[in-house]
Structure 1
Amino acid sequence: MHMDILNCLRAALLLLCCVQHCNGILNIFLSTEEVHKLLGVEAEVFYVRQGVINDYALNFVIPVSSKIDSLFFTWQSLRSLPLQYSIHIDVTDHEVLDSPQLNISKSGLIPTTMQVFSISLPCTGFVTAESNVTIIMNIALVPNPVSLRIRRKKICIKTENLVNHQTVDAILIPTSSNKIFYYAVACAGIVAATSIMCIAGIYIKNNKQSRSVEEPPGNQSFTSFLPTAIRNPTTSSSYNSFRRVPSYSLIEERPTSKDLQERIAELTIQRCRVCLRNVVLEGTFSRVYQGIYTNEGGTEEEVFVKTVTDHASQVQISLLLHEGISMYALNHANILTILGVSFQENSPPFLLYPFHNYTNLKVFLQKCKVCSEGVAHTLTTQEVVDMALQIIEAMSYIHKKRILHKDLAARNCVVDSRLKVQITDNALSRDLFPSDYHCLGDNENRPIKWLAFESLISKTFLTRSDVWSFGVLLWELTTLAQQPYVEIDPFEMSAYLKDGYRLAQPINCPDELFAVMAYCWAMHPEDRPTFSQLQVCLKEFYMQLTRYVSLGGIFCFELNQVSVTVTKELGKEDFG
């Protein structure tokens, strides 16, 4: 009897050791670089961590841009004994996507050191469509094998050149005796066609230039854009009134009544009253902290603290102060203004802002795509329009105060858990969001892809220039902070806009909402709406959505291929 008990204890101990050993059996994940490439988020996504499977990540279908041809996975076996695997890849539409290729064998042993393997996803180029891709990994665990299914949605674009190649291939008859003759005929035809196209191109270019000199300036570029971009511009009377309402006088930036030193003197607070906690955002030479400020009465207040690192230059410190105080003394519910400035010897300055569980709007929108648990937040059309209306109210206020923002974008707004939005200054934005700013050889980083045409060409800023930027911001809201004009080189933006091209309508974005964006991007400032007109227009659209929901309808709106509905209750998610 005593021996039976000892044997049972030994068996239990061996089983416990096996369970502990199996818990740390395998890691399979996407690196930070891969996640940023696919989703624009700085994070790692684990499918298997220390042997624990992340079902949320496995169930999330990640879209793959047409510009991305390969996927990269990192894996490592945490066992000393060989761990066998086999990989199979299923594609739903072979007309869209050729057979994916692995750079490793389809079966073998998982490496015991951290290694990266890739899967190529070559588009056929025959059609513009999407194809579902399922990567099936079978891990030979004893006694129970594990099968992982990782899903992607590959987007492919039709390649026009393939049609020409197929036509040439059909002309070239594969008869050995006539092969050289047909090749010569085909080459001569190609040369002749190229020559004709070059001559026609030169003629058209010269003709176009002569017309542009003779014709008076108008809205020809925007007119050529509207018929293809706005499918239903007459759905609401407010849109038609844009062109009929007389333009108001443009407001220039007001002269500064107080110099920088006087404003800083009014805002200066003692450093000992500021206590830093955790870092919220961080760049190359800048940081944004969450902290506590204790006022003279002893009351503690949560604050944002913007500052730079010790290796920041004096130019960067001066820029921080100038931009941070640009919206000083403004009082509006949808504007986050500076609370104070703190100086200390041999230490960079602190800029303090009130904090009420705010998140940077761009970061928040990116989290709506995917969070660390692999679960997408939901955002409805009605909420998007409501946030846009809040931004419009703030911009109307600062324009009445004769101030221009000049850098209106999602990165320069904050949002709380109840989707209350406040616009902020652009202090530190160049360093915190470097991919949003570009230098065109003038040693000045500017938000090129958010700028109006006149601001881009001649650095001219008007109230209607802020309206253009608002249109891009509205596009950011409906695409969950995708990069605008991602395929356009910054040096080519002015020519791109001059030719009448604009941002495409986001997937499932209502025509009414895209019409608002399109009117904001008129070539000439006087053809763009004012913020007052935009407010009337979007309020009408918001009321239409409200009436539709109150009738019990379900309005589906898919943001970046993540389906959401307006029937959910507000405040359910933890947006912080």
Structure 2
Amino acid sequence: MKIFLFSYTILVSYLYIPAVSGYLNLYLSLPEVQRLLGLHAELFYIRKGVINNYALNFVVPIPSNIDSLCFTWESLTPGQPVHYSIQVDSSNLAALPTPKLNISDAGVISNTVQTFQISLPCTGLVEAEVDIKIKMNIMLTPENVTTLTFRRKKICLELEKSTAYVSVDSLPPYSNSVNILYIAICCAILFIFILVIVVTLYHVKGNKTRRSTENGSGPTTTTTTFLAALPRNSVNVSSYGSLKRMPSYSLIEERSKDLQDKITELSIQRCRVRLSSIIMEGTFGKIYQGSYTTEEGTEETTIVKTVMDHASDVQISLLLKEGMSLYALNHKNILSISRVSVEEHMAPFLLYPYKNYTNLKLFLQKCKVSSEGVHHTLTTQELVDMALQIIQAMQYLHKKHLLHKDLATRNCVIDDKLNILVADNALSRDLFPSDYHCLGDNENRPVKWLAIESLLHKSFSPSSDVWSFGVLLWELTTLAQQPYIEIDPFEMAAYLKDGYRLAQPINCPDELFAVMAYCWAMSAEERPTFTQLNVCLQEFYAQLTRYV
């Protein structure tokens, strides 16, 4: 039976807790996060009544050797009781009986910090992936009920397969002790033999090193990439250049030397960077507005992307790799990285030019009618102009033989004059977790923006960027609604293969929706190029201006 150890999803059926003086904390404690994820941090689902959407969607496996889950919570309203009810279900009772709680199924949340446990003991009779549903109802008043539903997968193994044993009673006592003696003698001889070989090799290597030193040639320098497989505290360096003298343990497989050279070219001293305010923040990453002092003494306003101290080395590697994807590109509609700072025991800083930019997705969401009013009312003419700017950026990228692979409004920025710049996707998984999904391959991907061939075969081309642009155009016309919101990510491939696509948005002109539909042709060869899209939308833009 094929077992996927790293696939589970957490779904939330109701994603808002009214702020009543921040009446609840619900989180995984530091020891629990250490046990499940190996991270030195707490993971909050609800902090002072505010739900952390990223934490609720974060992928955490439950391997066979873990037989319980622990949650920590506390009520922050001493004068008003917060009631709860919990229901836990197992999809395979033969492999895992109904999980048990060490607290009552319903009651009142304590005003002090309380940790409760859900036991997950496998029977050992069946090998299976068991779906576990944990449903929590949190009630401040009978009318104020919040429901959180967690869906996780527990790996259960057959005891016979996971534990091989022989009964001692079935062996003769004398022969058993003699066998143990022989085994011990053989192990001792083998250990001595290995020790002799190691000492001999060390002696020979030392002689070679001394001879090479006497001949005037020093040891060679090993070129490596950013260390992603080693603990960060084990990297004892003062600058990125020092990483080149370390063994190669990297997750960045392709063009690693080229990436190192780029980072070295952009490397700056950390003391020249000053952080001012947080623009966006996720569970593991942050984007700051800050400033950089040049060697001439002038101060430049900048965007700084970085990760928090508890971020893993894999996340640091992704930040560097994805942040450098648009390196050295010079176009008015592309936001390219300008500087990098990597220093000892510190999270890397990625610096970008800043001219009062706002994330395009967040900007579009503010354009919707809300209780705070409308931030900006966009006209069709303005939307088409924004689309044309993105097309021009993509034309430039493809001319440079580069693919974006994650084109979406979340990876664009906009200024006060509606100038658009296409940016890289560094930190996007952390800052926009609901836009990315894991389909059982332990890789978060923008499933609902991907072309059919990218989804099925991880095949990318200029035509797959065109498909993503069609979804981006749909985002523009819907003011950043979630595409395919009613479709399960695991069903996306079948849904697209059956010919289904996004519906025409309300108030979207037929000409604009026709452009989207062309971008979503099943065959990559039938999709338009960005040059053809540019001509088409330029004509439509000219028609709009005639009537204004």
Q: Which TM-score bucket, shorter chain as reference?
A: 0.5 to 0.7
Q: Is the 8 A contact 2:291 2:302 kept in 1?
A: yes
Structure 2: segments with no counterpart, 5+ residues: 1-11, 22-138, 146-253
CA distance in 2, matches of 1:331, 1:400: 12
Q: Name the residue aligned to 1:452.
A: 451
Deviation at 1:259, TM superposition (A): 1.8
Q: Distance in 2 between matches of 1:490 and 1:514?
A: 23
Q: Shift of the alpha carbon at 1:490?
A: 0.4
Contact 2:365 2:480 in 1 (8 A): yes
1:262 alignment partner in structure 2: 261
Q: Distance in 2 between matches of 1:436 and 1:291?
A: 27
Please tell me whether the aligned partners of residues 360 and 409 of structure 2 are also in contact (alpha carbons under 8 angstroms).
Answer: yes
Structure 1 residue 347: Cα displacement: 1.2
1:325 and 2:324 are equivalent in the alignment: yes
Per the TM alignment, residue 430 of structure 1 is displaced from its structure 2 partner at its CA by 0.5
Distance in structure 2 (CA, Å) of the matches to 1:414 and 1:496: 31
**Distance (whole Å) between structure 1 residues aligned to residue 487 and residue 343 of structure 2:** 44
Contact 2:366 2:374 survives alignment (8 Å): no
Q: Aligned letter for 1:480?
A: L
- What are the Cα deviations for residues 224-249 of structure 1, in whole angstroms up to 9, with x where unaligned? xxxxxxxxxxxxxxxxxxxxxxxxxx
Residue 376 of structure 1, CA deviation = 4.9
Deviation at 1:282? 0.6
Superposed counterparts of 1:3-82, under 5 Å: none
Query: 1:480, 1:258 → 2: CA distance?
Result: 41
Amino acid at match of 1:409: A
Partner of 2:276: 277
Q: Structure 2: which amino acid aligns with 1:548?
A: Y
Q: Please tell me the residue identity of whatever aligns with 2:316.
A: I
Q: Which residue of 1 aligns with 2:472?
A: 473
What does residue 441 of structure 1 align with? 440
Aligned to 1:131: none
Query: Hey, what does 1:287 align to over in structure 2?
Result: 286
Show the counterpart of 2:310. Answer: 311
CA distance, structure 2, for counterparts of residue 368 and residue 486 of structure 1:
20
Q: In structure 1, what is the equivalent of residue 143 of structure 2? A: 117
Report what 2:357 is aligned to. 358
> 2:488: which partner in 1?
489
Partner SS state of residue 332, structure 1: coil
Contact 1:356/1:416 (CA < 8 Å) preserved in 2?
Answer: yes
The aligned amino acid for 1:432 is: L
1:347 is matched with which residue? 346
The amino acid across from 1:415 in the alignment is I
TM-fit CA distance, 1:309: 0.2
The amino acid of 1:384's aligned partner reads L
**1:377: how far off?**
2.5
Q: How do 1:404-423 residues align onto structure 2 when only pairs under 5 Å count?
A: 404-423=403-422
Contact 1:36 1:43 in 2 (8 A): no
Code of the residue aligned with 1:427 in structure 2: it is A
CA gap of 1:375–1:388, structure 2 versus 1, over 3 A, is closer
Opposite residue 479 of structure 1, the aligned amino acid is T
Supply the distance in 1 between the matched residues of 2:378 and 2:504 (Cα, whole angstroms).
Answer: 18
Show the counterpart of 1:373: 372
1:518 aligns with 2:517: yes
Q: Distance in 1 between matches of 2:353 and 2:437?
A: 30
Provide, for residues 73-129 of structure 1, a one-character-per-residue CA deviation record: whole Å limited to 9, x for no partner.
xxxxxxxxxxxxxxxxxxxxxxxxxxxxxxxxxxxxxxxx9757369xxxxxxxxxx
Equivalent residue, structure 2, for 1:123 = none
The residue number in structure 2 matching 1:401 is 400
Partner of 1:163: none
1:530-545 pair list within 5 angstroms: 530-545=529-544
SS in 2 for 1:374: coil
What pairs up with 1:552-567 in 2 under 5 angstroms?
Answer: none
Tell me the TM-score normalised to structure 1 length: 0.52
In 2, distance between residues paired with 1:114 and 1:310?
35
Which amino acid is 1:401 matched to? K
Shift of 1:374: 3.5
* SS of aligned partner of 1:529: coil
Q: Give per-residue Cα distances to partners, 1:480-519, cap 9 Å, x unaligned.
A: 0000000000000000000000000000100000000000
Mark the CA change 1:422 to 1:489 in structure 2 (over 3 Å): closer, same or farther. same
Supply the distance in 1 between the matched residues of 2:539 and 2:19 (Cα, whole angstroms): 42
Distance verdict in 2 for CA 1:45–1:503, change over 3 Å: farther
Q: CA deviation at 1:375?
A: 3.6
One-letter code aligned to 1:275: R
- Secondary structure class of the residue paired with 2:347: strand
| 2:340 alignment partner AA | V
In 2: Cα distance, 1:388 partner to 1:116 partner: 48
Specify the SS of the correspondent of 2:283: coil
Distance in 2, Cα, partners of 1:325 & 1:371: 37
Q: 1:43 to 1:412 in 2, by over 3 A?
A: farther
Q: Aligned equivalents of 2:462 and 2:261: distance in 1? A: 27
Q: Which residue of structure 2 aligns with residue 196 of structure 1? A: none
Q: Residue 451 of structure 1 contacts residue 469 of structure 1 at CA under 8 Å; is this kept in 2? A: yes
How many residue pairs are counted as aligned between the two chains?
313
Q: 1:438 to 1:270 in 2, by over 3 A?
A: same
Q: The residue matched to 2:342 in structure 1 has which SS? A: strand
Counterparts of 1:387 and 1:43 in 2: how far apart (Å)? 36
3-state SS in 2 of match to 1:426: coil
Q: Which residue identity does 1:117 align to in structure 2?
A: E
**Contact 1:35-1:44 within 8 A present in 2 as well:** no
AA aligned opposite 1:377: H
The code of the aligned residue for 2:527 comes to R
